[in-house]
């Protein structure tokens, strides 16, 4: 979160209920061909019913893939229940291996949060989550000196590190001060130290995947700033308060599905609206690619949007 930012919580009554999420899944998304799902945030593990939601989605015969993106803080107690509920893929955000630097990034209680997050990573690994991915947003002058240390985690563990280019989403001041580092520069740094080869293991997301020779894990590079992949994106995003959006950064054509459910709109009519938004997505993708993201201003922060 940006330094000094204040949390603006969505009222509980405005959040999608578990029943609404599962109804939309079964009556709208699956009939339209959705088969892969990710629970993200904010922080999805804050939901008291997250394990039940995972179980319902994981056991649905139509589900081909289910993953969660989390900050890992609550994983020490939730990793086993989530695994038992059917979750197998997990992404954990950890932007530094230095507790003090971690505190600089997230603010108060940072050292304690780092210890708790690292414990969550260890427990998830021990339980057997595979793949276990660690997301790192690289910020010049903040954590770019840790690139080799983070990459080294993949040598002896079958972990997948994902280096993500810093984007100007609700972080305009920091972005203007620090800017971003192209993925190609990170790859060259790693290549000069150990060597770097393309990996045969490809992810489900936008990462270009490499590995250190003989390493057990992989290194992925998500390069939205330097190598925009908007035109290849096939993802839709359902927010916690029911808005269906075709793009992380673009709200063109968004639909509030919670409102439609509350109004008693027939499922067939909701599917029609979602199908129309799906048809618009390629055009939105290309416009986003052509406009780029550098220098743009967004009202929502990544802590509100999710990963």
Q: Tell me, what's the pLDDT at 36?
A: 97
SS3 221: strand
Count other C-beta atoms under 10 Å from residue 8's C-beta.
8
Q: Tell me, what's the pLDDT at 4?
A: 63
**Structure pTM?**
0.88
Q: Tell me, what's the pLDDT at 172?
A: 55
Which residue would you say has higher pLDDT here, 111 or 20? 20
> What is the pLDDT averaged over residues 78-95?
97
Q: Is the pLDDT of residue 295 over 50?
A: no
Q: Tell me, what's the pLDDT at 20?
A: 98
| 219 found inside a domain | no
- Dihedral, CA of residue 93, residue 99, residue 102 and residue 108, to nearest 10: 120
Q: Is the pLDDT of residue 107 over 80?
A: no
CA neighbor of 62 nearest in space, from 103, 39, 32, 97: 32
| 272 found inside a domain | yes
Name the DSSP class of 249. Answer: S
State which residues form the domain around 273: 1-34+236-291
pLDDT digits (tens, 9 = 90+) for 231-278: 778 889 999 999 998 887 766 778 999 999 999 999 999 999 999 999
Q: Tell me, what's the pLDDT at 87?
A: 98
| 171 found inside a domain | no
Which residue would you say has higher pLDDT here, 88 or 11? 88
| 206 found inside a domain | no
Which of 35-39, 150-154, 292-296 comes out lowest in average pLDDT?
292-296
| Range list of H helices, the chain | 18-24, 50-58, 75-84, 99-106, 110-127, 147-156, 172-178, 183-194, 257-262, 267-291, 302-305
Region for 234 from its dihedrals, namely left if φ exceeds 0, alpha if ψ lies in -120 to 50, beta otherwise: alpha
| 81 found inside a domain | no
| 212 found inside a domain | no
* CA–CA dist 266, 142 (Å, integer): 50
Give the containing element (helix H, strand E) for 238: strand 237-238
CA neighbor of 138 nearest in space, from 101, 162, 166, 114: 166
| Range list of H helices, 3-49 | 18-24
Count other C-beta atoms under 10 Å from residue 93's C-beta.
21
Task: Compute the mean pLDDT over every residue in the chain, rounded to the nearest whole number.
Answer: 87
What is the pLDDT confidence band of residue 297, given thresholds at 50, 70 and 90? very low
Q: Is the pLDDT of residue 203 over 80?
A: no
> What is the pLDDT averaged over residues 160-189?
78
Max Cα distance, the chain (Å): 60
CA neighbor of 84 nearest in space, from 51, 60, 61: 51
* CA–CA dist 95, 138 (Å, integer): 7
Which residue would you say has higher pLDDT here, 293 or 85? 85
CA geometry: angle 67, 73, 74, nearest 5 deg: 70
| 221 found inside a domain | no
pLDDT digits (tens, 9 = 90+) for 126-152: 999 998 999 999 989 889 999 999 999
CA neighbor of 202 nearest in space, from 257, 167, 249, 162: 162
What is the pLDDT confidence band of residue 88, given thresholds at 50, 70 and 90? very high
Q: Is the pLDDT of residue 166 over 90?
A: no
Query: Based on the number of CB atoms within 10 Å of its own CB, is 279 exposed (0-12), middle (13-18) or buried (19 or more)?
Result: exposed
Q: Tell me, what's the pLDDT at 79?
A: 98
Q: Is the pLDDT of residue 170 over 80?
A: no
* CA–CA dist 46, 49 (Å, integer): 9
Q: Which residues pair with 137 in a beta bridge?
A: 164
- Chain-centre distance for alpha carbon 220: 14
pLDDT digits (tens, 9 = 90+) for 1-37: 556 666 677 788 899 999 999 999 999 999 999 999 9
Q: How many domains does the chain have?
A: 1
% the chain with pLDDT above 70: 83
pLDDT digits (tens, 9 = 90+) for 39-62: 998 899 999 999 999 999 999 999
| 119 found inside a domain | no
């Amino acid at each position: 979160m940006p330094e000094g930012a204040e949390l603006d919580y969505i009222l509980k009554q405005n959040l999608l209920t578990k029943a609404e999420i599962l109804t939309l899944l079964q009556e709208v998304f699956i009939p339209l061909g959705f088969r892969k799902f990710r629970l993200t945030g904010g922080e999805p593990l804050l939901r008291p019913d997250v394990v039940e939601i995972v179980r319902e989605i994981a056991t649905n015969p139509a589900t081909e893939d289910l993953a969660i993106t989390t900050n890992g803080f609550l994983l020490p107690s939730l990793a086993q229940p989530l695994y038992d509920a059917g979750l197998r893929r997990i992404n954990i955000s950890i932007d530094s291996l230095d507790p003090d630097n971690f505190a600089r990034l997230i603010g108060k209680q940072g050292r304690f949060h780092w210890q708790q997050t690292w414990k969550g990573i260890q427990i998830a690994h021990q339980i057997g989550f595979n793949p276990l991915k660690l997301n790192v947003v690289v910020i010049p002058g903040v954590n770019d000196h840790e690139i080799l240390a983070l990459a080294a985690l993949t040598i002896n563990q079958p972990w997948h590190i994902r280096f993500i280019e810093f984007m100007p989403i609700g972080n305009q001041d920091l972005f203007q001060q620090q800017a971003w580092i192209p993925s190609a520069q990170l790859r060259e740094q790693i290549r000069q130290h150990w060597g770097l080869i393309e990996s045969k293991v490809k992810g489900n997301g936008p990462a270009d995947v490499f590995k250190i020779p003989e390493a057990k894990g992989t290194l992925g590079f998500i390069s939205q700033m330097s190598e925009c992949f908007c035109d290849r994106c096939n993802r839709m995003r359902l927010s916690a308060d029911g808005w269906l959006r075709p793009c992380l950064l673009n709200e063109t054509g968004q639909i509030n599905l919670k409102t439609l459910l509350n109004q008693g709109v027939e499922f067939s009519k909701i599917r029609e609206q979602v199908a129309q938004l799906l048809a618009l997505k390629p055009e939105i993708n290309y416009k986003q690619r052509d406009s780029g993201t550098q220098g743009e201003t967004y009202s929502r922060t990544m802590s509100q949007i999710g990963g």
